[in-house]
Amino acid sequence: MGDDDRTHRDAQTDGDPEETREWLESLDYVLEAKGADRASYLFERLRERLGSRGTPVSAPLNTPYVNTIPASQEPAYPGNLEIERRIRSFVRWNAMAMVVKANKQHPGIGGHISTFASAATLYEVAFNHFLRGKDHPGGGDLVYFQGHAVPGIYARGFVEGRLSEGSLHHFRRELATGGMGLPSYPHPWLLPDYWEFPTVSMGLGPIMSIYQARFNRYLQDRGLKDTAGRRVWAFVGDGETDEPESLGAISLAARERLDNLIWVVNCNLQRLDGPVRGNGKIIQELEASFRGAGWNVIKVIWGSDWDPLLAKDDEGLLVRRMGEVLDGWYQKYTVEGGAYVRKHFFGVEPKLLKMVENLSDEQIHKMMRGGHDPRKVYAAYKAAVEHKGRPTVILAKTIKGYGLGEAGEGRNVTHQQKKMNEHELREFRTRFGVPVPDDQLGSTPFFKPPAGSPEAAYLVERREAMGGFLPERRVNVEPLEPPPLEQFKEFIGGSGDRPVSTTMGFARMLGRLLSIKDFGKHLVPIIPDEARTFGLEALFRQYGIYSHVGQLYEPVDKSSLLYYFEATNGQILEEGITEAGAMSSFIAAGTAYATHKLNTIPLFIFYSMFGFQRVGDLIWAASDMRTRGFLLGATAGRTTLEGEGLQHQDGQSHLLADAFPTIACYDPAFMFELAVILQDGMKRMYQDQEELSYYVTLYNESYPMPAMPAGAEQGIREGMYCFRPAPAHGGRHEPRAHLLASGTLVIEALRAQDLLRERYGVSADVWSVTSYKTLRMRTLEAERWNMWHPEEPPRESYLQKIARSLDGPCVAVSDYVRLVSQQISPWLPGGLLALGTDGFGRSDTRKALRRFFEIDAEHMVVAALYALHRRDGTVKPETIRNAVKDLGLNPHDEAPWKR
């Protein structure tokens, strides 16, 4: 924009410049004489008066494009800036060298240089003065490191003496001899003593950090753990904020007044392919989003080099110019150099040009952005940790690839930069003053300050003062003994003639567990706004819905017995309509054994369709974090959930869950099965300390619940047991088959068993299969052991032992796709014919849906007859044709999954 354009704009918007000047001078007087609080008060009163007189009043969410903390208000820097600069340079060099070496030795192995290059100052100031380790009296901070900045975190670990040079040599080569390799990104599964939080599936770190901070408050408010001294930090990329998970929960942080949460957004203006907002200003956009949500926003845009210019900017021309230039141009200024900046940034206004007339082009080019200036960064961090009542976000402007020069500084290709030639290495070495001689540059050696050096001593002194090294993950929790199975006797004994669903059975079990003294307090029920659907509203009044501020209103249903009750010490996390948020709470609670040395047992109950399908990425992160707890997929099954239709009816979550290595999957039919599974899961996870989560499906179909058959307990845990054997046939020879059923389809299998015996003379056992995944995985483990130990007696899995007793073909049926049951088909000698719900759901009754998907008792009968025919011909084709007619079946020309 030229000067003439601005003059025209000013003339349009200011009809009386003299009056405007007087108002501004009055405001300046109040600021100087009475302070900022008084000035803000008067400003708000003026806004109210205008609004009351019917005048539209805008509420801008943006402040000028300058640092939030002016130079005059910056605190003194407490550290040794020169020593910290040298340490920062060593870390920069080692981070770069690690990636360059890895790609020299193994082209294509990958890694990222540019992200940490832009964020080094942000991290180093935090490490030296703010991030508190596990030995800090307050318990230490929880830090979500930006995934692409990992080389810098490893490099600091090397400079501190925590990681060996051999480890750095094997970056991204985890399978290297000796187990010295380092994973590409933060993965607690791979470095369980080092990383706490996986963050590189972008967007997950931000949302997990919010719910972690809220969970810390939850523990404090419930009196389970003193977390008052623990902060949660999240280092986030500006491009990452485009992920819906990144900003989707920021309003919760403000509502819950999470002043224990600090985000540092590295605004280097670039994402993987190009500018984050080439045609806009990402810092201003994010400021508006966070301020609108209620956060405290601190902008760190300009380094100290700009302070003298801003001090001379009496007319506000420089501030205006800073605000009108788009990010795409700022990126270009980084690449083009000082002469270009002088002409295109300052040259639009003669008075701006005069401001820099005494600066060389090189000086202009080196004027730092705020995120590279330790003084500015320190001031922002100090203000953040001292702020009360709201979460804080720091928007720090940096240059992506800072220091890489022609190798990638500020360029669109910088994210993919993996290699540097000798000239580029020399420039990098010289720019940051790293003591690597010329004759060694080609080998890109790592550098660590020698023991006893000022830098080495400073590193140790600062981390000791801050409570130890970070990142670090510690597990030091006492085992928690769960209630014995006898505590579930009311569920093991059945319901008599009273119909009950497994969802309602779970609600009763949860209430029972919550009431157990000294154990119930460890439970963390998590519900995404479906408590009434799942029959859990009875828990509201007794245990309370957690709210940090309590209940500031009288609920509309206060006169009822089960009214909506919010309390500061409430136990239930009622998350609203957000499976992502609820899953983040599950992760925070399920990892408290590591983050807080405390056993908390999350029980997250949700529409099963909206679990693995909707938040599978977060569930994968939970597995990476070794999370413990129960995921409960309620209203499960493609035909059991009647009426809801295609988007709600789940027929695939068990298939999806099979791919998660740390998740045990169960699909119980009866309350006694559910009781055994829950008790066994609590024992395995919290007493035996196995790093597992459980996925258990629950149904809303009611039927009388039988008592547990004698000897069924082991089979429930192992994955299958014979629920009802075929009736004795008095010595007559009858064809034999086996009906394998899961969940509510066990009831259909029982009906099919009767039809087969009464109409077709086929004797069939009914097996309840509680976990196909458990059967399969334990069989694979046995087979693998046998393959590597051919000289040893072969091991035999539970499934293989059962299979030896099966004297006929098997027909498997569940409310899930056929692949779920087909997992075990290789080990069934009589063969397996699978029925399932492949295809899209429909809105209809259970009876109609099961007929449509060909999984009702009548279809099981035909399948069993066909399996016997296919196996040995004992059932003739005409018997099958007659059965189809007699049972009222009308096979469609197209399969259900094509309709």
Top-level CATH class of 721-898? alpha beta
- Express each pLDDT in 420-435 by its tens digit: 888 888 888 989 999 9
CA distance 742 to 325: 63
Q: Is 518 annotated as a binding residue?
A: no
pLDDT grade, residue 265 (50/70/90)?
very high
Token readout for 776 is 């399969």
CA distance 756 to 233: 63
pLDDT at 732: 65
The pLDDT of residue 2 is above 60: no
Q: Are 693 and 629 in contact (CB under 8 A)?
A: yes
pLDDT at 616: 95
Beta-bridge partners for 182:
171
pLDDT at 413: 62
pLDDT at 50: 82
CA distance 408 to 112: 12
Q: Per-residue pLDDT averaged across 39-59, rounded?
A: 83
pLDDT grade, residue 51 (50/70/90)?
confident
299 to 146, 329, 334, 399: CA distances (angstroms): 19, 19, 20, 15
Q: How many CA atoms lie within 13 A of 322 on its CB side?
A: 19
CA distance 654 to 772: 9
Q: Are 371 and 124 in contact (CB under 8 A)?
A: no
Q: Are 836 and 820 in contact (CB under 8 A)?
A: yes
Q: How many CA atoms lie within 13 A of 256 on its CB side?
A: 25
Closest CA to 603 of 700, 514, 728: 514
pLDDT at 417: 66
pLDDT grade, residue 731 (50/70/90)?
low
pLDDT at 1: 39
Q: Are 212 and 232 in contact (CB under 8 A)?
A: yes
Candidate from 138-142, 537-541, 559-563 with smallest mean pLDDT: 559-563
pLDDT at 415: 60
Token readout for 657 is 């869950």
**Percentage of residues of the chain with pLDDT beyond 90:** 82
Q: Are 98 and 150 in contact (CB under 8 A)?
A: no
Q: How many CA atoms lie within 13 A of 180 on its CB side?
A: 13
Sign of the alpha-carbon dihedral angle for 230, 575, 287, 61 = negative
Q: Per-residue pLDDT averaged across 583-607, rounded?
A: 97
Q: Which comes out higher in pLDDT, residue 407 or 612?
A: 612
The pLDDT of residue 408 is above 70: no
Candidate from 56-65, 145-154, 370-379 with smallest mean pLDDT: 56-65
Token readout for 828 is 């069934």
Candidate from 105-119, 210-224, 273-287, 515-529 with smallest mean pLDDT: 105-119
CA distance 674 to 465: 50
Domain 81-303+368-466: assigned CATH number? 3.40.50.970
Q: Is 270 annotated as a binding residue?
A: yes
The pLDDT of residue 757 is above 80: yes
Instruction: Identify the burial level of 107 via C-beta atoms within 10 angstroms of its C-beta, where 0-12 means exposed, 13-18 middle and 19 or more buried.
Output: exposed
Q: How do strand 763-769 and strand 720-724 relate by DSSP bridges?
A: antiparallel
Helix, strand, coil percentages (3-state) for the chain, rounded to 5, are 50, 10, 40
Which of 3.40.50.970, 3.60.15.10, 3.20.20.10, 3.40.50.2300 is the CATH number of 485-704? 3.40.50.970
Candidate from 109-113, 303-307, 403-407, 598-602 with smallest mean pLDDT: 403-407
CA distance 737 to 883: 16
- Express each pLDDT in 439-463 by its tens digit: 898 889 999 999 999 999 999 999 9
Q: Per-residue pLDDT averaged across 45-52, rounded?
A: 84
- Express each pLDDT in 782-832 by its tens digit: 999 999 999 999 999 999 999 999 999 999 999 999 999 999 999 999 899
Quote the mean pLDDT of the chain: 93
Whose structure tokens read 């049951």? Answer: 821
Closest CA to 799 of 814, 781, 811, 817: 781
Cis peptide upstream of residue 471 (ω within 30 degrees of 0): yes
Phi, psi at 182, each rounded to 5°: -110, 135
1 to 255, 335, 491, 645, 657: CA distances (angstroms): 41, 21, 76, 56, 56
pLDDT grade, residue 407 (50/70/90)?
low
Q: Is 279 annotated as a binding residue?
A: no
